[in-house]
Structure 1
Amino acid sequence: MEQTKMKSFFSAAGRLAAVAAIVALSAAPAIAQQATDPAAQPTAPAAAPATTDPAATAPAAAPAETPAPAETGVGEAAATTEVVENPYGLNAIIEHGDFVSKGTLIAMAIMSAGTWYILVTKLIEQSMLMGQAKAAERNFWNAGSLEDGAAKLKENNTFRMIAEDGLRAIQHHDGSMTDAIDLNSWVSLSLQRSVDAVNSRLQGGLAFLATVGSTAPFIGLFGTVWGIYHALVSIGISGQASIDKVAGPVGEALIMTAIGLLVAVPAVLAYNWLTRRNKGAMDKVRNFAADLHGLLIAGHKNSANVARSA
């Protein structure tokens, strides 16, 4: 019985020893892993912020002084917004161009100024003539006689001058060398000369506009050829066709072409417009002269008949 109890005791003790050994073996790797894990061990840098060494705190204070580069960037941005003068524009031609370029510009400037001067003056002259035609239709034909009708018009009125020329032709025909010409032809010639004088005055300046309109593009083309010649010379001297060598002369050539067109186009338009307006004005003058011619001849015949009957 005792032996049986002793066997049972030793058997239980052996089992406990085996369980303890298994527990010890399973716990040993976990302890070893905990001992070698870097994350489980406290690191020395965690205590670094507590140091009071000035050398250690200097790098942390450096970022506080970084606004200086921002100020420099603002200054550079402001510098880049400055207006840069165009080195290849019209001012460059005026300041640095040779005598040929400047002479071409002066010639086209004179043509342009003359075109606009003639356009403005001719428009004023044509408007005045149209107003005089209205005054003649309103006052001249309602008068009792040709002399009274001429007196109702202003002294500078073109239609008054035509009427006075017709009256002088009637008065100076008898008893002079003009007796060899019949009265009808003589009055017609006198009135025709007056009408031609008005037409010549209206046509003044139109030849200049026609000349400018036909020659200004070729003058601009001459400036273009001269600019291309300068570009070729620059390429030959430098030995390379870089953009900085040809930009100036080519820009000069293009500007000359543009100026030639800007001068020619207004001249052509002004010529056509003024010619059309002149035709309308001269129609009024010719109609007035034709009506006046009929009245002069009829009035002279009536006067002659009255003299014979007396």
Structure 2
Amino acid sequence: MTTPATAAGASGAEQYGLIPALQQGGVISWSVFILLVLSLFISLFILMSKWWEQQKIINQSKGVRGSFWSAPNLRDAATKLEKNSAYRQIVDDGLLAEDQHTKLTDPIDQHEWINNSIARSTASIGAKLSGGLPFLATVGSVAPFVGLFGTVVGIYRALIAIGAAGQASIDKVAGPVGEALIMTALGLITAVPAVLAYNWLLRRNKVIMESLVAFANDVHGYMVSGGAVRPSFGVVKPAPVKVGATASGVQTTKA
């Protein structure tokens, strides 16, 4: 059975909870609260979606080192890459530029034409990877100030309550002060993950773009050299040779 003291305590806790504090704050408090919560969920969504997108490209890079450069020519090598992947896009754009060069009416060096096409392809991939990061940067910068605005409104309402009551009693200021603290905390909770996600994703983008640019340079060198120039890890090296002395002379054997 609930005693009167316990019931009164429960009633007081409900009176000073999150929802009552927001209801007392009115439209401004609800607007700030909804804006911050929505920004937090969008930031988390961007974090997960960009991580998944980055991880796909990182996994694709392993396949490039494994089998791409061992193909007899670039067109056969392209078929070994996942369709619509970042690396496949660079190769396809390079091959397309090679085919288009013969149709140009104004003279331009083939290597320059191919290099420009591959560079544009790489830049478009970088722009796609950077999508959503400006939003994270904006949330990380603005969210604390939005929370601070809610804090100021809460403190203002607390001062109004004190002035109306003529004394600073706890029951008059607990609601507005609690609302102010909630807005401060919510602003920080929204901003910190956004800043951390932005810096982490930006660093991963930099590593991915370094790998893509290196691959684009390798593709360009391969195309303008007719396949003579390729990365060292894509060249099958001959087996080492041992030279050993025998009773009849010098004998050469494979390791």
TM-score (norm 2): 0.83
Q: How does 1:1-310 map to 2 (within 5 A)?
A: 80-81=5-6, 84=10, 85-177=13-105, 179-299=106-226
Which secondary structure state, in structure 2, belongs to the residue aligned with residue 196 of structure 1?
helix
Per chain length, whose mean CA-contact separation is higher, i.e. which structure has more relative contact order (CA < 8 Å, sep 6+)? 2
Q: Deviations over 1:241-270 (max 9, x none)?
A: 211111111111011000000000000000
**Per-residue deviation at 1:79?**
5.2
The total of aligned residue pairs comes to 226
Deviates more, 1:90-99 or 1:243-252: 90-99
Residue 88 of structure 1, CA deviation: 2.3
Rate the CA distance shift 1:155–1:174 in 2: closer, same or farther, 3 A.
same
Q: Deviations over 1:31-89 (max 9, x none)?
A: xxxxxxxxxxxxxxxxxxxxxxxxxxxxxxxxxxxxxxxxxxxx67x554557134223
Which amino acid in 1 is paired with 2:93? D
Conservation of the 8 A alpha-carbon contact between 1:89 and 1:252: no
Is the strand fraction higher in 1 or 2?
2
SS at match of 2:158: helix
Query: How far does residue 174 in structure 1 lie from its aligned partner after superposition?
Result: 1.8
User: What is the rounded CA distance, in whole Å, between the counterparts of 2:151 and 2:133 in structure 1?
Assistant: 28
Report the Cα distance in structure 2 between the residues aligned to 1:282 and 1:300, rounded to whole angstroms: 24
- Are the aligned partners of 1:226 and 1:253 in contact in 2 as well (CA < 8 Å)? yes
Distance 1:250 1:94, change over 3 A: closer
**Counterparts in 2 of 1:231 and 1:95: CA distance versus 1, 3 Å:** closer
Deviation at 1:170, TM superposition (A): 1.0
Contact 2:143-2:190 within 8 A present in 1 as well: yes
List 4+ stretches of structure 1 deviating above 6 A.
Answer: none
Q: How far apart are the structure 1 equivalents of 2:46 and 2:199? A: 13
TM-score by length of 1: 0.69
Question: What percent identity do the matched residue pairs reach?
Answer: 48
Cα pair 1:166 1:190 within 8 Å, conserved: yes
Structure 2 CA distance for aligned equivalents of residues 148 and 268 of structure 1: 43
Going from structure 1 to structure 2, the CA distance change for 1:276 and 1:300 (only over 3 Å counts) comes to closer
Specify every segment of 5 or more residues in structure 2 that has no aligned partner in the other structure, as ranges. 230-255
Return the structure number with greater helix share.
1
Of structures 1 and 2, the larger Rg is shown by 1
Name the CA distance, whole Å, in 2 between partners of 1:267 and 1:101: 22
8 A Cα contact 1:88 1:252, kept in partner:
no
Which whole-Å CA distance do the structure 2 matches of 1:131 and 1:253 have between them?
46
